[in-house]
Structure 1
């Protein structure tokens, strides 16, 4: 995916519109079928599905002639999630051996395959890209905007065009199935060797698809790093070869037009390899077959929720804007007006984890709308209230009232009852000197926006430019 994203980034730097149009004409187009009406809503984020096809048709025949005519599966499934701010990119990998519920899908030759449990990569073989998108949206509740498909031959052409990528092997590898034979240590690989490195499974690590996924993520971060920092952009000949190889190597949806690519490239122009994080969906062994995995719960669902909640676009302050208020400067009272037991405590903990100083949790009279309030005498109240409002999700499924307004009284008197589990003072902590902000959680409560798509529990699984490829 970093190969395609990098190509898009480069296109926007070219002033020759005709040249860009010629590149666009080299991309094969294939529209998904009917994805249904009950799709997840868009949130402002950009989600692009990368499909690595294992097709043996055409130039891919030598990777398994006996598999010709048997369709194609997704050898690699990744979802590139770019935040609405376009300042962070998360590359999410789905193990091909994952057992998931696949929705009902139309078959290419006619008819319909009923919904049922299956291996995630079979969705592509059964119903093509349409079934793959429907499956991923069903299990993640994340709206997929575009897709890009790359086959074995296309991948080789792209890596060749950038002059290869350096890898590091902890031991000698001899994998006839992946056509990969190489000694230990560091090597610059291209062509067949590059393809073999990302395909090999049993000859490296523990033989699992999870180990292969991590190598693929490391490889892709190195591709993006080399393209953006390796001098490619200043070498017209190499740049032209890379762009033409990338355009000719992929199949994409018709909506991923030249104008759309330029729009994306412009929005992520400040994104570099350092902002790209790779993560694999949390899994565990599938009880009925130890050679398969299933999503580990609740970790997987929590992770997908964090991706969906990354929905607020930061508004850039103008030259005359007031200094930004830091979370640590804000004292917050959290009041539950939903009637749901423990709601204020949960929200208070989420805000405290982001640095806010929560001084009190309690109940308030039932209210339909979430509000943020401050004492009328506090002239800094609006700015401090905005700091809290900025951490509330703006998911279209739960619009935020989030109105910051002044109270008529100068002193807060939260409604507190002895029987209310939410009614309590927070542990003593150093108190900032700014105004106290009161957050009243209404029935339309949208949730607290996450700081990072990747939760702390999965941080040790992240692959980025600092990951040691020799491991």
Structure 2
């Protein structure tokens, strides 16, 4: 339980197939077939044209399902209203040597056990028009729950190497660590081992790679001249795992090669006639599902539904990025995330593409429709996150004259802008509160009960009248102003499109 996947995880994988609809398989679809194929980098495996009942049952039975909800815990992030419908899938590749096809890879003497050597978080947009895949370096040093405890509060978390979370507590611990450090909720997970990776590459009849320098790796036996090559199972696995003998020998360099490889898989899958051949497609899916471990809700049916919903995404709308990182001072062989990493996590939480500011319509407007809850029925807790004395109490007074009950005021976490938080079921009450704070962001939280919490940060606007206020007393003067936030340039996150030339950014 604790999330320990019986078979281990995949290795470098994340994506890998595209699945045509029944109409496409029979050639009756007029739209360009490339656009109509399901993008496999989500590793969302659908039955497609091989749709016999027996095949469906067989493929679904191949998948190992592990419930890790207890290991993940209950204090999980909630989706922002504008992101509801978006999907986040954690794809993990492990270095397990257990099981047929994995035991021939070779033992790791210095650090035995299963590790999540490849970690990909896939975000599928709410409108299913784009996807972003972020690679998390295996050597990242982040806060993590002690002994992978599902109940340990975050102020008790310890610093630990990323891929050891899986070793200690399995996929459940890895998900809890990811969610706690990013605020991004993981909806599903999928794990594939070495054997599964090799089988899927072989089912595609090999995948093309491009290397700018010769590779001679003694550990894996991989030898390649500079240039392009089509690699099959064992060679492909060796290529995506090779680290010390290529480039600077770092895991970061390996991530670049893995992203290029995944792009190549997506390109091969969407151009391969294999996807129009039911027998070959079934063989591919059979190979993939035999080495797949997922959460109980991520069975073949869910995968097929999700695959159908993303069939319109083109390769140019799929981007690969790596968590921005820097050397970890206590150990230069490890890395730590840079503050700019939150640009990625914020984009996932709020469902917008990297480098794009969400449009005004992306966030629900408090006044988009008539307010349905009277201020007299709302309890508000006001927090000052702007660092200016008196801001919270001033806002509280302006709320009270409109009929709100102010449960308390005080200091809150430093932030920019106004955040209105509410528990499930209190959406309409929160909308009434947010109407008093121009530009406020609404966000669901836990543990607030019927109280709505407002945190005022730098750049917050003073309280205004709401349309359904009670009483006629004028709002008190509000001389205290939140400071103007210092302009901070948005960090540039380098991204690789799935349709990019495989020889670009190669080793």
Q: What TM-score does the superposition give when structure 1 sets the normalisation length?
A: 0.68
Q: What residue number does 1:128 align with?
A: 170
C-alpha spacing 1:339/1:175, structure 2 compared with 1 (3 Å): closer
C-alpha spacing 1:260/1:10, structure 2 compared with 1 (3 Å): closer
Q: Following superposition of structure 1 onto structure 2, how do residues 441-452 of structure 1 map, counting pairs within 5 Å?
A: none
Q: 1:77·1:96 contact (CA, 8 Å) conserved in 2? A: yes
C-alpha spacing 1:96/1:227, structure 2 compared with 1 (3 Å): same
C-alpha spacing 1:171/1:66, structure 2 compared with 1 (3 Å): closer
Distance 2:321 2:500 in 1: 14
Q: What residue number does 1:261 align with?
A: 303
**CA offsets 1:319-360 (integer angstroms, 9 cap, x no match):** xxxxx9999xxxxxxxxx9987699xx779xxxxxxxxxxxx
Question: Is structure 2 residue 396 aligned with structure 1 residue 396?
Answer: no
Q: What residue number does 1:3 align with?
A: 16
SS at match of 1:62: coil
SS at match of 2:235: helix
SS at match of 1:47: strand
Distance 2:256 2:137 in 1: 10
C-alpha spacing 1:105/1:14, structure 2 compared with 1 (3 Å): farther
Distance 2:291 2:314 in 1: 23
**CA offsets 1:119-166 (integer angstroms, 9 cap, x no match):** 110011111111111111111111111111111121111100011111
Q: What residue number does 1:369 align with?
A: 433
SS at match of 1:174: strand
Q: What residue number does 1:36 align with?
A: 73
What stretches of structure 1 of length at least 5 have no aligned partner?
A: 108-113, 313-323, 328-336, 349-366, 374-387, 408-414, 424-454
Which stretch shifts more, 303-312 or 231-240? 303-312
C-alpha spacing 1:174/1:259, structure 2 compared with 1 (3 Å): same
C-alpha spacing 1:11/1:420, structure 2 compared with 1 (3 Å): same
Distance 2:202 2:434 in 1: 55
Distance 1:154 1:252 in 2: 14
Q: 1:309·1:393 contact (CA, 8 Å) conserved in 2? A: no
Question: Is structure 2 residue 506 aligned with structure 1 residue 464?
Answer: no
Q: 1:84·1:311 contact (CA, 8 Å) conserved in 2? A: no
Distance 2:73 2:478 in 1: 48
Q: Aligned pair count?
A: 372
Q: 1:149·1:252 contact (CA, 8 Å) conserved in 2? A: yes
Q: What residue number does 1:47 align with?
A: 88
C-alpha spacing 1:406/1:135, structure 2 compared with 1 (3 Å): closer
**CA offsets 1:37-78 (integer angstroms, 9 cap, x no match):** 101114522111111110122332222246599421111111
Q: What residue number does 1:290 align with?
A: 332
Q: What TM-score does the superposition give when structure 2 sets the normalisation length?
A: 0.64
Q: What residue number does 2:404 align with?
A: none
Q: What residue number does 2:376 align with?
A: none
Aligned partner (choices 283, 291, 303) of residue 344 of structure 2? 303
Distance 1:106 1:422 in 2: 40
Question: Is structure 2 residue 266 aligned with structure 1 residue 224?
Answer: yes
Task: Provide the alpha-carbon RMSD of the alignment.
Answer: 4.0
C-alpha spacing 1:67/1:78, structure 2 compared with 1 (3 Å): same
What stretches of structure 2 of length at least 5 have no aligned partner?
A: 1-13, 18-38, 150-155, 354-358, 363-381, 392-415, 419-430, 447-451, 455-465, 469-475
